A and B are shown apart, each in its own frame.
Chain A
Amino acid sequence: MENNEQYIIELNNVCKKFPDSDVYAVENFNLKIKKGEFVTFLGPSGCGKTTTLRMIAGFELPTSGTILLNGQDISLLPPYKRPINTVFQRYALFAHLNIFNNIAFGLKLKKIPYTVKVVDKDRIAQLELDNKLDKEELANTACSDQRSELDEKIHKRQEEIAKLKANPSLEIVKFRHYTKKEIQEKVKNALKVVDLEGFEKRDISTLSGGQQQRIAIARAIVNEPEILLLDEPLGALDLKMRKEMQLELKEMHKKIGITFIYVTHDQEEALTMSDTIVVMNDGEIQQVGKPKEIYDEPNNAFVADFIGESNIYTGTMAKDNKVRFLNKYWDADPVDFGKFPVNEKVDVVVRPEDFNIVKAGKGIVDGVVSSKIFKGMHYEYIINVGKAEVVVQSTAELDEGITIGLTVDPINIQIMKKPFVSNFYDGYITKDYKVDFAGSEFKLDILPLFPGASYDEEGTLIDENKQEIAVNNMEINVEVPFEAITISDDLEASDIHGNIISLIYIGDHYEIIVRTDDEEDFVLSTPDLWNENDRVSVLIDTSKIHLSRKGAKK
């Protein structure tokens, strides 16, 4: 019980499925929020963050799971019975009311309990009845002892009755509305908090967007809710106003001390304002943590990609605590030692500011500076390493076209488990629209990568506006499912040859890793038994290969 009390709101296995949809909008959502925290739900649009917020507010009911407020189940309570208020994205101010009445809307409806002392009528009635009976007995009694005893009793009761009548002692709870004066006082204070004093009489339509949003906030906080929900409240404001309001909201949170749950798709906003960030995607929580934790130690490639800028590569764990990506072996972060078996495919994330630029040949990998953008505090370079691109931020000024070396502190290499049923490769599109990955060229249909694109008569890839799409050397993600790969001992069967370096028996099949001479790995499953170090050719069923554009998640 004690544990429960420190959390103001708890969501347990909350799922939501809309009746006209097959997929869950929110799936197995588990979260506990402490009193006074500033929590942000962050994710791309359609990730279920607003749906979760609406379930907390009571506008949507969870399909399954429970929502506890201070330990009590409120999952099915209608919104007007919840001590929670919402600031809506589009303000939702009442256009037919002026500012004072907008803010006072909730106060006028609210009933507040108070205790009054009243005369205990039941007790008096009881005493009077007793007296009446005793008086009757008195009239029928002759014995003087008994008479005086009765007399005394009656007298005592009469004294008690008089006392009860004079001093109301019974406490009862009554409900009342706020008085006009109280409402005026509270509205005035709320306007003070949002910095719009003296605006009471004005009409909503005379306000700017930022002012309207402040009124919406005032309208919510004036009710002193236990939790304030904010649904992308700054989405409709311009950039400068948004930055100002971010700081003001943070200030307000400190000042009034209630729990804030904030929904946004803007990662910068989330990092600036929150105590805790909940990163969501496809209705599921990806990571919960403090802003710094989420930025420095992303759980998976999605979080790394969504929060801040990242270089994400598919890597392979190697011996001696090294990880291989960009075709080189890098020293891995000591905390990742032993977490992943050798040869496991992993996601490797390196933030652009974590690359160190050194002289060519002195780094782990060499690259050519292909573009340079001045960003105020630093330069942002795109470095071509082989066919891969590395985004690097540095304060040093470099010229385009020169070759440099790159190193990374092991601690800045984030290694993450790959959700894994496929081989992932960094590929690129060649001049004649073939796809090059794992050291070979494949003829694959790249049209699905470009919505609205088609080939013209000359076989050039064009977009909807008949403009040629420059795809040469464009980087793409190539996903080759295990079942798309077969191996053969006939070395004439394909151009890709490699040695079996690992053979693991998993229940009813073997998981085999084939490493080519270029150190590219193919993972496949097969019911047949092979031997380690067998030389094989790799056959790929191209119809099962899935291509996607890099960075398309954003």
Chain B
Amino acid sequence: MSEAVIKQRRRFNFRGSLCMPYAVFMALFVVFPLVLIFYYAFTDAKGKFTFNNWGTIFTDVTNWKVIGVTFIIAAITTVLCVLIAYPIAYLLSNKKYNSNKVLVYIFLLPMWINFVIRTIGLKALINGLTKWMFGFDLTATYPYVAIVIGMVYDYLPFAILPLYNQMLKMDKNQIEAAADLGANPFQVFTRTIIPMTIPGIVSACTMTFMPTMSSYVIANKMSENTTKIIGNIIEFWFGSSSSPNKYNVGSVLSLVMLMIIGISILIEKSISSKDDSRKVGIW
């Protein structure tokens, strides 16, 4: 090939040019908003550089409490989701119980319904149950319990799906080999099935932790608007606040949430990076 042709090819890289729409999209909807948030977080209403926004958030003890509560609710929800989803995914991946994959769709079907409607329906159901059994509305008396129930219910499919995918890929031979080498069913589970599904567990954690950290609609519905999580405060600052710095302070909260999620993902990644070879799913 002559040099001129090579040069010409270099000048116009057709395959590379196919990336352009995505690059534009990313710049517009990911990079630009992030830059904007950073800009707002470190400036005041007049555009002057300041750390005051951070002071506004962190000098208020209730904000600390809300961030802590949000984190705890998200962590409990994640743990519960994975604990519930794991056996379900295991059964679904077993051909004996799920030969035609209909059960998978049944478990994922709730995702087809608007989640606000789902949440309101769930609230009516559990309040009816607790009223009949104990004589009180769960959402009013124990709002935190109600929020966790609502979040687990809404995000369970997000935990089932990555675990199910991972379990379909499990090497059945390794399970048999473990039994062959003297592992009883419990040891087979802890020594081969769990290690083989770690990438799925990490994905399931990420998939439930991220939305539970940021969602506030479920918290509103399941606590009769009495309990605030980080999403509520962000909504307050960007929405109904009358402060002139409202976007700036809200941006600080967004950054805080971003950091919590980011750090959590880094921790999860470091757990799963031990075996790069079998990475799976979203991460």
Residues of A within 8 A of B (CB): 57-59, 78-80, 84-86, 88, 90-97, 105-106, 109-110, 205, 219-220, 223
Q: Which of B174, B180, B196, B274 sits near A57, CB closer than 8 Å?
A: B180
Shortest Cβ distance from B274 into A: residue: A96
Q: Report whether B180 and A96 are in contact in the complex, using a CB–CB cutoff of 8 Å.
A: no
Asked whether A223 lies within 8 Å of B171 as measured between CB atoms, the reply is: no
- The reply on B248 being an interface residue by CB < 8 A is no
Given contacts A59-B176, A205-B277, contact A105 B191 (CB under 8 A): yes
| Chain A CB within 8 A of B47 CB | no
Q: Interface extent on B, as a size class? A: 20 to 34
A106 to B275, CA, bound (A): 22
- Chain B's closest residue to A229 (CB) is B180
Contact, CB under 8 Å: B278 / A95? yes
Contact B179 A79 (CB under 8 A): yes
Contact mask for chain B residues 203-234; partner A; CB cutoff 8 A; 1 contact, 0 none: 00000000000000000000000000000000
Residue B121 CB within 8 A of the other chain: no
Cα A320 to Cα B174 in complex, Å, equals 62
Complex Cα gap A181–B101 (Å): 49
Whether the pair B178, A105 counts as a contact (CB closer than 8 A) is yes
B173 within 8 A of A: yes
> B78 an interface residue at 8 Å Cβ cutoff?
no
Segment at the interface with A among B18-26, B125-133, B181-189, B237-245 = B181-189
* Cα–Cα, bound, A78→B275 (Å): 31
CA distance A85 to B274 in the complex (A): 29
On whether the beta carbons of B181 and A219 are closer than 8 Å, the reply is yes
Determine whether the beta carbon of B196 is less than 8 Å from that of A96. yes
What distance in Å separates the Cβ of A388 from its nearest Cβ neighbour in chain B? Answer: 47
A78 to B171, CA, bound (A): 20
Listed from nearest, the 7 A-B pairs whose CB atoms lie closest are A92-B173, A106-B181, A96-B195, A92-B177, A79-B179, A109-B182, A86-B180
In the assembled complex, which residues on chain A have CB atoms less than 8 Å from the CB atom of B278?
95
Q: A57-B180, A78-B179, A109-B183 are in contact. Are A94 and B174 (CB under 8 A)?
A: yes
Cα of A86 to Cα of B174 in the assembled complex, Å? 11
Cα distance, A106 to B174, chains bound together (Å) = 13
Distance, CA A88 to CA B180, complexed state (A): 10
Q: Which residues of A contact B177 (CB under 8 A)?
A: 86, 88, 92-94, 219
Tell whether A80 pairs with B275 under 8 Å between CB atoms, given A88-B173, A92-B173, A105-B191: no
Could you give, for residues 60-100 of chain B, a 1 whenever the CB lies within 8 Å of some chain A CB and a 0 otherwise?
00000000000000000000000000000000000000000
Interface assignment of B192: CB less than 8 Å from any CB of chain A: yes
B171 with A106: CB separation less than 8 A:
no
- Residue of B174, B196, B198, B275 with most partner-chain A CB within 10 A: B174
A85/B180 in contact, CB under 8 A: yes
Chain B residues closer than 8 Å to A220, beta-carbon distance: 180-181
Instruction: Given A92-B171, A110-B182, output 13 extra A-B contacts at Cβ < 8 Å.
Output: A57-B180, A80-B181, A80-B187, A91-B173, A92-B173, A92-B176, A94-B177, A95-B171, A95-B196, A96-B196, A105-B178, A106-B181, A219-B177
Closest to A86 in B: B180
Q: Which of A59, A86, A219 has the most CB of B within 10 A?
A: A86
* B195 close to A223 (CB less than 8 A): no
Are B181 and A92 neighbours in the complex by a CB distance under 8 Å? no
Q: Are A223 and B173 in contact (CB under 8 A)?
A: no
22 interchain pairs, CB-CB under 8 A: A79-B180, A80-B179, A80-B180, A80-B184, A80-B187, A80-B188, A85-B181, A88-B173, A92-B171, A92-B173, A92-B174, A92-B177, A93-B174, A93-B177, A94-B174, A94-B192, A94-B195, A95-B171, A95-B196, A96-B274, A105-B181, A219-B181
Fill in one digit per residue for B153-194: 1 if any A CB lies within 8 Å of its CB, else 0: 000000000000000000101101111111110011001100
The chain A residue sitting closest to B171, CB to CB, is A92
A88–B179 CA distance with the chains assembled, in angstroms: 13
Q: Are B181 and A109 in contact (CB under 8 A)?
A: yes
Q: Please name all residues of chain A whose beta carbon is closer than 8 Å to the beta carbon of B173 when the two chains form the complex.
A: 88, 90-92
The complex places the Cα of A78 from the Cα of B181 at a distance, in Å, of 11
Interchain CB contact under 8 A, A80 and B183: yes
Closest to B277 in A: A205
Task: Closest A residue to B278 by CB, please name it.
Answer: A95
Q: A88-B176, A92-B171, A205-B277 are in contact. Are A106 and B182 (CB under 8 A)?
A: yes
Chain B residues, Cβ within 8 Å of A85: 180-181
Q: List the B side residues contacting A90 at CB < 8 Å.
A: 173
Say whether A96 contacts B275, CB under 8 Å.
yes
A96 to B198 Cα, complex, angstroms: 10
Q: In the complex, A196→B42 CA distance in Å? A: 61
Minimal beta-carbon separation of B106 from chain A (angstroms): 24
Query: What residues on B are CB-neighbors of A219 within 8 Å?
Result: 177, 181
User: Who on chain A is nearest to B174 by CB?
Assistant: A92
Nearest residue in A to B182 (C-beta to C-beta)? Answer: A109
**Residues of chain A lying within 8 A (CB to CB) of residue B274:** 96
| Chain B residues within an 8 Å CB radius of A59 | 176, 179-180
Residue in contact with B275 in the complex, picked from A86, A95, A105, A223, CB distance below 8 Å:
A95
Give residues 232-279 of B contacting A (CB, 8 Å): 274-275, 277-278
A75 to chain B, nearest CB (A): 16
Query: Which residue on chain B has the smallest CB distance to residue A97?
Result: B195
- Compute how far the CA of A110 lies from the CA of B191 in the bound complex, rounded to whole angstroms: 14
A105 to B179, CA, bound (A): 11
Which residues of A lie under 8 Å from residue B182 when comparing CB positions?
Answer: 80, 106, 109-110, 223
In this complex, which of B173, B180, B188, B277 has the most chain A Cβ atoms within 10 angstroms of its Cβ?
B180
A109 and B177 CA atoms in complex are apart in Å by 13
**Chain B residue contacts of A57, Cβ below 8 A:** 180
Residues of B near A58 (CB, < 8 A) are: 179-180
Complex: A194 Cα to B180 Cα, angstroms: 20
Q: Is A95 a contact partner of B180 (Cβ separation < 8 A)?
A: no
Closest CB-CB distance, A165 to chain B, in whole Å?
39
Could you say which residues of chain B place their CB within 8 Å of the CB of A86?
A: 176-177, 180
Given the complex, which residues of B lie within 8 Å of A105, measured CB to CB?
A: 178, 181, 183, 191
Of B182, B191, B195, B278, the most chain A CB neighbours within 10 A belong to: B182
Say how far B246's CB is from chain A's closest CB, in angstroms. Answer: 50
| Minimum distance in angstroms from A177 CB to a CB of chain B | 12
Measured between beta carbons, the chain B residues less than 8 angstroms from A110 are 182
Most buried by B among A59, A80, A84, A110: A80
